[in-house]
A and B are shown apart, each in its own frame.
Chain A
Amino acid sequence: MEGWLGEFRRKLTALVRRKQIEADLEEEMRLHVQFRVDRESETNFPPDEAKYAAQRSFGNTLMIKDACREVWGWPLLEGCWQDLRYGLRILRRSPVFTAAAVITLSLGIGANTAMFSVIEAVLFRPLPYAEPERLVRVWQNEPRMGSGRLGAAPPEFVSYRDGTSAFSSLAGYQLRSYDLTGDQEPEQIRACRATASLFAALRVQPMIGRAFSQGEEPPGAARVVVLSYRFWSDHYAKDPSVLGSNIRLDEQPYQIIGIMPAGFIFPSGEASPGEPPAVWIPLSFTRNQLTEWASSFDTSIVARLRDGVSVSQAKEDLRRVANEFQREHSDTYSGNIMLDPAIEPWEPQVGEDVPLTLWVLSGAVGFVLLIACANVANLLLARAGERQREISIRRALGVTSMRLMSQMLTETAILTVGGGLLGCAVAYGMIQLTQAAWTNEINLTTAKIDIPVLLFVLALCGATALFCGLAPGWTARSTDLNDAIKQSTRQSGPSRSSRRLVRLLVQAEVACSVVLLIGSGLLLRSFIHLIQVPLGFNPEHVLVIRTDFNRQRYTSAEGRHQAEHEIERRLFSLPGVTAVAVTTHVPLADERRIGFVVDGSPPDEFHWADNALVSPDYFRVMGIPLLSGRTFSPEDTPDSPSVAVINEYMAKQYWPQGDAIGKGFRWGGRHITVIGIAADIHIGALDKPVEPSIYNSVYQVESGATSSGVFVVRTSLTDPMRLSKTAQATIWSVDQGLPTLGVTTLHQVVSASLALRRSLLELAVGFTTLALLLSLIGIYGVLSYAVTQRVQEIGLRIALGANPGSITLLIAGEGLRLTAGGIVLGLLGGAIAGRLIATLLFDVRALDLISLVGGATMILMASFLASYLPALRASRIDPTVALRNE
């Protein structure tokens, strides 16, 4: 083979046949000498002298062998291999140092890896659909009413689907729970009702069977269902012959026509909270629903942009359609009800604050890693200082600076890779620990160590190695050979530049720690303020049992009311129960909003209010004081005038002068009179402001939107959960087929609403503690080493009359100087960090003085603590011993 390829191939072969080549060469040269001997003895010398002469004129065999070896060698690889072995040997000689460095690095790298795997699972996992960047979410908002995101009402959805041209397909979907009955145990499952265009929009097809078609959408058509992979394996053990058989959802048979591939869990993402849908069924609208403009904004929309259409063009298209139907139905769309469609790239929903929370935590672990690296770099610098003689001698023997640096980098790389491997184990452990957290806002069970995470670890190791290793390598360059070799080992200390670098690193560490301290301080104060927010209700000793009165089972309102009355009665008779009520929505867990018009306002001036349908004793169970008026009574029936209890905020807002009692408003096609005013409670999260609330009697007003019924039971027991089995049995005694979902206490509900914040706080504090500890160790190490270096100087001072106290102050002052610069930088950084996390704070200013001062104080205390031992040691130096060891 010709050229460099042949050369490469020959070199490769030579790698294997190295021994053979060297043996050949050896023999060849020996024979050459023999020939020489023969020749020389022929001409000039007697035989043995000839031999000597021949050998001499042949030259140095070893050098020749070396030269030949170089021909066949791979200089770069061999250099690396040499560095590796040398590095391992050196590290093995100082096990304590190696262990300290590897453990420090593993903590830093491990924490970052764990964080990255979470972020990767939540934010970066690509959607499993073709060309996912062309998928968009379409929603609406009502700018005049400030409603936040709304879906589309049925006729609005149809308008968008049929009237726009910007999308190659547009699909609507809703998530609903269904009761699955049949031969197996009844259970409630989550179903995604979707238009057939969903499959076209996502460009997915069932793995087995087919998806439903548009013809199967209308309400009268045959009922079909597509199963999810998980459902299929859980319930049918992946038996493909289930196609064609039926399942019963809400008492209706649905024929199985297809099974989706594994991993298809639309609309959930992997990291979305809550259950992914178990099945998909066609979304159909009744004729009535198709006339409900501007109400029941229940349908979410996902669409695929047509090729070449941009997002802004699509938005214009949507606007056009919206304006058209709003013009056509201007009787409905007037006043406050004006819709504005919006569009954004489709992402599965996670809690609102989740991305920022994750980024904040990554920043925190990033700082921890920086501190860890700084510590390791300092360690390396100290060691490099001690190895000055070795380095100088090597330099004098001709090793180039490049080789020295590459060798030191290799050492660092070994440490870093060790730290990385251990860090993976640390990360794995951390991931397992945090699996259970944050389930309200985010599902962490999908975080795992996969390829992207491993690549991240590799990159991190490389960066860390570079960061830590360049420092000592750099300072190794600038050693004055003569000085270094001349001085004794004790005196050979770090050079000026290396000392400066050490100070810089310590100040950087301190700055990072201060930033973390300030951030944690802010989060802590936010959390404390949050839990001090008055709930408005009393969450103690209340049991919460959810159930569902699905429409197929309870076809009439009377049937439902009867069941609810009976359950209430029976629950009340249980021992330890002091009050029972039923509601459709639980504060801090569910939300429902309705639009109402105040009497005397223009009929299109709608306002939002939270709404719940409750039983008369609700306020008593929840401990919500009734400020005036009355609660519901048995006289409030579906036939009597509709009444409602409103909250104080609503009363003050809409009837600022005088009593709201007796006033009225319109909602849901009926006129409602206010009969009572209750104290404000937080329905949404604790950090959201109070909104108007309307309570209707669950026995009077028909719940059109939800079939859920939540029984709240106030008990005299300290732990209401002790009653849970009995309560469930009681409910079943009235109707065996009622599912009881999630029995919990009200206290737990309140805690769950704070879960994200609490987790953030816990992790932030954990990382800050780690950072503080590492900084403390770092400062201690540097001061301790400095004292060792300056033993003679200190001995001299003591000999000249300095008292131990002043020596202590000297060292402590040194420590203070080290941290002072870092504190200033840290305060600056902390101020910036405060701004960045401002949206996560509650009732705390970003430039909170207490946090800033607290942070600085804590690091000062840590610094004093760290300098205590070295200062003590310094003050106890015996001058005679110190000065003797010259």
Chain B
Amino acid sequence: MAVEQPIRDEIPPGTLYMLILKTLARGGEMHGFEIAGSIQQISEDVLRVEEGSLYPALQRMLLKGWVSAEWGVTPGNRRARYYKLTRAGRKQLEAELAQFQRINQAIVRVIRMA
């Protein structure tokens, strides 16, 4: 049986932070693997976060104070580093969502014009 390669698209530049923030907003405390898995799963395998982009992004978000990190234990008794949204992160998420909406609507308007 041929494994169907799902159609994978690159994550549009500048939206990675928004995706991670939203994932954390929804999921509460998650570790890196979970975050990547969640994004992949919810986007139905269209969006895949490479670890090469995930971890630098997480580090940057730590620097900017949008998330905080803490070592914890998974349900499977594994050590993992859990990320959590901060208040500043929530504000940033709102701002990015709003911006994304704006741009999206604008693009749709342009496209809809016959």
Contacts and interface: CB of A to CB of B under 8 A. Distances in A.
Nearest to B56: A67
Given A32-B32, A58-B51, A59-B51, A10 B65 contact: yes
Contacts of A446: none
A59 B55 CA distance: 12
Nearest to B81: A28
A1 B65 contact: yes
Nearest to B76: A38
Given A29-B51, A59-B52, A11 B59 contact: no
Interface string B60-94: 10111100010100000011110000001000000
Contacts of B56: 64, 67-68, 70-71
A32 B59 contact: no
A56 to B, nearest CB: 11
A68 B33 contact: no
A32 B51 CA distance: 9
A24 interface: yes
A28 B88 CA distance: 24
A24 B81 contact: yes
Nearest to A70: B56
B50 interface: yes
Nearest to B80: A31
Given A6-B65, A11-B63, A60 B52 contact: yes
B96 to A, nearest CB: 16
Contact of A7 (B55, B63, B69, B71): B63
A53 to B, nearest CB: 13
Contact of A64 (B51, B69, B80): B51
The binding surface of chain B is classed by DSSP as helix
A70 B51 CA distance: 16
Given A24-B81, A67-B56, A71-B60, A32 B33 contact: yes
B63 A72 contact: yes
A25 interface: yes
Among A11, A14, A28, A67, the one with the most B-chain Cβ atoms within 10 Å of its Cβ is A28
Nearest to A36: B33
A64 to B, nearest CB: 5
A2 B88 contact: yes
B78 A71 contact: no
Among A11, A31, A63, the one with the most B-chain Cβ atoms within 10 Å of its Cβ is A31
B32 A28 contact: yes
A246 interface: no
Contacts of B64: 7
B51 A71 contact: no
Among A27, A35, A60, A70, the one with the most B-chain Cβ atoms within 10 Å of its Cβ is A35
A29 B79 CA distance: 12
Interface in B8-59: 31-33, 50-52, 55-56, 59
Interface in A1-25: 1-2, 6-7, 10-11, 14, 24-25
A151 B25 CA distance: 89
Given A2-B65, A10-B63, A72-B59, A64 B33 contact: no
Contacts of B55: 25, 28-29, 64, 67-68
Interface string A407-442: 000000000000000000000000000000000000
A34 interface: yes
B78 A25 contact: no
Nearest to A63: B52
Interface in A39-72: 58-60, 63-64, 67-68, 70-72
A29 B58 CA distance: 12
Contacts of B60: 71
Contacts of A70: 56
Contacts of A67: 52, 55-56
Nearest to B36: A32
A856 B97 CA distance: 79
Contacts of B65: 1-2, 6-7, 10
Nearest to B33: A35
A28 B62 CA distance: 14
Interface in A94-143: none
A7 B62 CA distance: 9
Nearest to A28: B81
Given A2-B65, A59-B52, A25 B59 contact: yes
22 contacts: A1-B65, A2-B88, A7-B63, A11-B63, A24-B81, A25-B55, A27-B81, A28-B32, A28-B81, A31-B79, A31-B81, A32-B51, A34-B78, A35-B33, A35-B78, A36-B33, A59-B50, A59-B51, A64-B51, A67-B52, A68-B55, A71-B56
